[in-house]
Amino acid sequence: MSHRFKSVPVRSSEITPKEVYLSRRDFIKAAGVLAGSAALAACAPGETAEESTPQFTGPAKLDELGDPANTYEEITSYNNYYEFSANKEAVKPLAENFNAAPWTVEVTGMVANPKTYGIEDLLARFTQEERIYRLRCVEAWSMVIPWMGFTLASLLKEVEPTSDAKYVRFETVYRPEEMKGQGSPFYPWPYQEGLRMDEAMNDLTLLATGLYGEMMPNQNGAPIRLVVPWKYGFKSIKSIVKIELTDQKPNTLWNTVAPNEYGFYANVNPTVDHPRWSQASERRIGELTRRATLMFNGYGEQVADLYADMDLSLFY
């Protein structure tokens, strides 16, 4: 049975319960106090919610396969975020005081109309919609997350890529005084990622600004992060400050550090094992039993044609 993704713009007031709904002005103002962070992935086992944690009591949110979304607590309590710590449980408290306001994103390179956007501009200019995507972590965890954001394609069309642009390079913020993990000498900071142009323009590719109708939590990549749901979570760079269009395949952090383990494409593929573990099955956070990993994380109908002539065991 095939499942086709449908992108339907939704007003914030329609997807956020009344008790947590914020006006756009309040949303932006709150971002200056609570936002922040860049990361490698977002997968999470649950923990007891603090009194200040938003409570969502509306109908269960389901992805296109009918799987329920993970809870807000699960999504925000256990995070791969080496900029703060390699200890996943330590990320949330370490990211608490990260400051994401003011924030700008520079879009440059092979474009006819380079721009620098404030986060307020991005929230106001591009239609925010909810996308309930599965996120698969390379360590064989998975989650279902109700993201808020807008398509990367809508931003790229506005800056008008030239015909020579073949790739999109992303760069995260570099603030070792706030992000203590960036003091590690083992990684080439700042974090960098890249997509091929056709991947970047695919309708699934999202620039996320929130989740569960709330502003993006620090530990999940505030104030803006990439979400590429058919790829492993480390591909979805967080706290983006620069987007550059180029004719050269960008260097990426994990492919640079361990090219035998992390390829440039990072497509979810159960038939290609990581050198240190199998990718054939995964554990959905909140579930006890494992499930079979879906090719392209279940989004093959929308993206398989992008790789029709490629050997995916070589271009992993």
Q: Tell me: domain 12-307, CATH 3.40.50.620, correct?
A: no
Which position has the higher pLDDT, 43 or 87? 87
Query: Given the DSSP bridges, would you call strands 104-109 and 240-246 parallel, antiparallel or unpaired?
Result: parallel
**Closest Cα partner for 242 from 192, 292, 167?**
192
Confidence band (pLDDT; 50, 70, 90) for 52? low
Is residue 7 pLDDT above 60, yes or no?
Answer: no
> What CA–CA distance (Å, rounded) separates 219 from 239?
10
Confidence band (pLDDT; 50, 70, 90) for 53? low
Q: What is the pLDDT of residue 46?
A: 38
Q: Is 250 helix (H, G, I), strand (E, B) or coil?
A: coil
Tokens of 24: 């756009």
> What CA–CA distance (Å, rounded) separates 222 from 31?
8
The residue whose two tokens read 């200040």 is: 52
CB 234 within 8 A of CB 40: yes
pTM: 0.85
| Residues in Cβ contact with 288 at an 8 Å cutoff, skipping those fewer than 6 apart | none
Least confident of 3-7, 52-56, 133-137: 3-7
DSSP 274: B
Tokens of 133: 């995507």
CB 145 within 8 A of CB 210: no
| Residues in Cβ contact with 22 at an 8 Å cutoff, skipping those fewer than 6 apart | 16, 30, 215
Where b means 16+ CB within 10 Å and e means fewer, 107-127 reads: bebbbeeeeebebbebbeebe
Which position has the higher pLDDT, 3 or 244? 244
- Domain extent listing, the chain: 12-307
Report whether the peptide linkage leading into residue 270 is cis, meaning its omega lies within 30 degrees of zero. no
The whole-chain average pLDDT of the chain stands at 86
Within 13 Å and on the Cβ side, how many CA atoms surround 14? 7
Least confident of 54-63, 75-84, 107-116: 54-63
Q: What is the pLDDT of residue 97?
A: 92
Share of the chain above pLDDT 90, in %: 78
**Closest Cα partner for 152 from 208, 216, 92, 102?**
208
